[in-house]
Chains A and B, each alone.
Chain A
């Protein structure tokens, strides 16, 4: 993996972080006072304001926040497709200026290439990096099997169901074995059963590899089941409201997490934080926030 260090890097304020040997801080995401707004001066909309966080190496960090708070915007910054207005983001000690092979980002929107079969989609990464031989093919077979799409390898994405497409996309990302994996609501839109299966399968996979992972979700149960650490976000303009460690033993099972007292404690804590965030923006008369409160208060009342 060759990393081209662009000359303008040294002129940036974050130059100091470059002097650290990359190996020592490999796989760590650091965001410092990141702000992002869209539109010009008078019509500017600030989506992220002074957001700072650190994502530990070899841990699964879950970011949870109300819908529309700016999570996907943050992911685009991490991916390097957009730049923050102020603040810095670095991955593995290297400032993020462009998309790179050091991280793999799975965006919220489904983006399987409709002109490629499932198999060709999964093999896209290895082929793009000119990996030859049987090894990538073996990994593709393994993953096809794991996500249960072995029989669908020659089908085109439009011939797959929504859930299958999500799984194919997950396989397409995981075959690359990146140092850092960034996933934006990968299980959104799946039916409850498939979602549970995917979560268990994903947790398994994480436990096998312990790859540094940043996982965005709006689903509190999913967050607690998967996370080593939860970042609770404020409403828009977003920043980190609270950092909560989840010290449940691994390997985890969904049923255990439901019955575990610590897990329920965390759940109540996160819910009340999110509830507060929603209340704040509700005071400003936001319709989205009203819906959000509605949805969450129902869930708080119902002991799962």
Chain B
């Protein structure tokens, strides 16, 4: 599998790069039985325990540096106990915890923005990427412009987004959309270009017309790359969403982090960050599950590879 071209640009993308899809063959689709079996296999392997140890080490490090050693660099930082007690406090000191409806409003507003931007990016990026990969002529027109716009980071678009769009919602969605759109388009294009020419030849030999080759060979053939792109896309959507929310907007996790910073409510700020991590992980896992469901042939291929 070719390295995703987008992965080099953004650190977020690296964390959820194309290998992420390949690395998790156990997330197979299908019947309950096989899922249960895989779950049992997973629990029997050392992986879940290594994962727990990893989390424990991380929390331990945080606890030691902030609350035990009190290193000067971390003197302003809230320790894990402060954050967790605030998080599960029915009567939070700074007004935000698992018990406050506001908390869920922030999550919902951010998720909604990401969802809209992600769907827009998918609806435009996938067709554009397919066209770019399929038609050399089209690529010659469009790709240079695309490549010129792509390195401009979402933050640099902020002023223009505010001038172009009214209200506070649309500029944020536009900023969130941008990076997702690039990731989806580029990966889809690479997906089409990665298709073995023998498949296309075979289809023509079997009597397919150009249009049929497109729908029955190009689209399914590019699917694995498209879903790699979509996973990167959700990741970078959160990335640029927060940038947008910090600059303008009311509500949203980025907004929460920013305001609790300015109001010196540091535990709330960290709660916002951790929540962002969890919600971001859940959304990209959802995309991965959907991808595996749609590409059962591929999930099986990977599962077989893992058994061999």
Contact = CB atoms under 8 A, between A and B. Distances in A.
Given A113-B216, A113-B221, 6 more contacts: A99-B204, A111-B198, A125-B206, A128-B209, A129-B207, A156-B297
Given A113-B217, A115-B221, A128-B212, A104 B205 contact: yes
B301 A158 contact: yes
A223 interface: no
Contacts of A173: 205-206
Interface of A: 79, 81, 99, 101, 104-107, 109-111, 113-116, 124-125, 128-129, 156, 158-159, 172-173, 176
A184 B128 CA distance: 37
B126 interface: no
Grouping DSSP codes into helix (H, G, I), strand (E, B) and loop, the B interface class, with mixed when no group exceeds half, is: helix
Nearest to B196: A111
Nearest to A106: B205
Which interface residue of B199, B207, B301 has the most chain A CB atoms within 10 A? B207
A114 B196 CA distance: 11
A6 B220 CA distance: 31
Nearest to B302: A158
Nearest to B224: A115
Q: Interface range on chain B: under 10, 10 to 19, 20 to 34, or 35 or more?
A: 20 to 34
Interface in B171-204: 196, 198-199, 201-204
The binding surface of chain A is classed by DSSP as loop
Given A113-B220, A156-B297, A159-B304, A128 B203 contact: yes
Contacts of B198: 107, 109-111
A156 B300 contact: yes
A269 B228 CA distance: 57
B295 interface: yes
Contacts of B300: 156, 158-159
B222 to A, nearest CB: 10
Contact of A111 (B199, B208, B212, B295): B199
Interface string B264-308: 000000000000000000000000000000011110110010000
